[in-house]
Amino acid sequence: MCVLCRTTLREYVESLPEDFKEYYVQRGIVSNRFLDNLWDTIEKKKHIPAIVLVADGQTPPRILGEKFVLGSDFKVLDGLQRSSRLKEAWEAVEFYNSLDDSDASITPVKFARIHSEQLRKRDINSSLFQRIVKARREGSVLTELFENNSLWVEIWFNLNDSSQIQKMLVLNAGHKAVNIKHQVELLFIGYLPILQDALGGAKIIREKEQSSLSYSKNREHGEFHFSHLISAFVSLNAGKPVTTNADFSASRSFDDVDDADTLLGTDQDLLISFSDLLQSLDRNLVTEDGVKWLGREVVLVGIFGAIGAYARETDIPLSAALKEMTRCVPLFAASLDLEAFEKVRNSLDLSKVNLGSVNKNAVYKATLDFLKNPSSEPIAWGLYFRGQA
């Protein structure tokens, strides 16, 4: 159920939960110079686009026009950037109202500089504060700008996690695109706590914390990127390397599922076997080249896609194939010859091949052949990269 309500800016910002920026569906606060100018909209009392909220455990109003008090247990589904700027502006107004600004000879810029340390502590943008000082000196009653300005909020009730994620992706479809890796992570967010428990002391990094591109370049021993784990697990189930691109995200978003736990049709034991293999790979690939190699998504989807294919070819459960590979990891690590891998990889003509596709297919075929005949003999990467193996 959804209701449309009108509130004042002050009522809205004062009702925002302290952790409203932490809702896992959201990608976090982003830089946007147009949103940074939201103060002009407030000062001129212009329309602010509606904000979409999700109310948990609350009873919606039953009668049209009935006054409704929104409790503190709600989440911002769409409008996080506007909410953040509105909150910052209100806190800047409150801070300004606590100061003595009787000396008109002090310019707004200098006034902000005098209070710069307090502004930093409150995470208030200096430029915004200067504009607020200027507005007050020109006659604006600052609190009235928030008390007399209206905001429309669309409030959804009784949405489960899967529905919230799907609605957020639809709401953002016409805006600046939500990072694909972030979308994929949201679709499989139900597996994050299970994987984290299974991986023990290993650190799982989310896209909102560090981009997968940055992670791949700077991976440290004991770290995994959540989006890479999802890609690897999907590849395991598919029995081939799977690219989690925009098409994949869209297809998963609109699958007829009730909650995240049914997305892959798997169980917790399989996730644990999956995690055991990851830990074994991490323990055996401790050189600088090994740590970097394991941080590539194409490597993980190649390895786990091959394990899925091996399970199908030998007609054994996925969990059994994972355990077999885990037992063979020391041999596998010894056979990798990562110096040769990099040399062949860097010799490819990028104008003629898709490097990502060639990489994952080479790892996939080499891993599948290894599973069929485990050996510490160096892998002939030149044959796999050129499709001759």
Nearest to 24 by CA among 165, 197, 158, 155: 165
Residue 19 sits at φ, ψ, to 5 deg, of: -100, 30
Nearest to 335 by CA among 387, 303, 380: 380
Confidence grade of residue 364 (pLDDT, cut at 50, 70, 90): very high
Helix (H) or strand (E) holding 132: helix 126-137
Rounded to whole angstroms, how far apart are CA atoms 237 and 264? 8
Task: Tell me what pLDDT residue 252 has.
Answer: 47
Angle between helices 268-284 and 226-238 (to 10 degrees): 120
Confidence grade of residue 234 (pLDDT, cut at 50, 70, 90): confident
The stretch 182-203 carries a mean pLDDT of 76
Rounded to whole angstroms, how far apart are CA atoms 292 and 295? 5
3-state secondary structure of 137: helix
**Interval 252-274: pLDDT, tens:** 443 433 333 344 445 677 888 99
**Interval 78-95: pLDDT, tens:** 888 888 899 999 999 999
**Interval 304-340: pLDDT, tens:** 999 999 999 999 999 999 999 999 999 999 999 999 9
**Interval 15-32: pLDDT, tens:** 888 877 776 555 556 655
Helix (H) or strand (E) holding 205: strand 203-205
Residue 17 sits at φ, ψ, to 5 deg, of: -60, 155
pLDDT of 209 strictly over 50: yes
The stretch 1-12 carries a mean pLDDT of 87
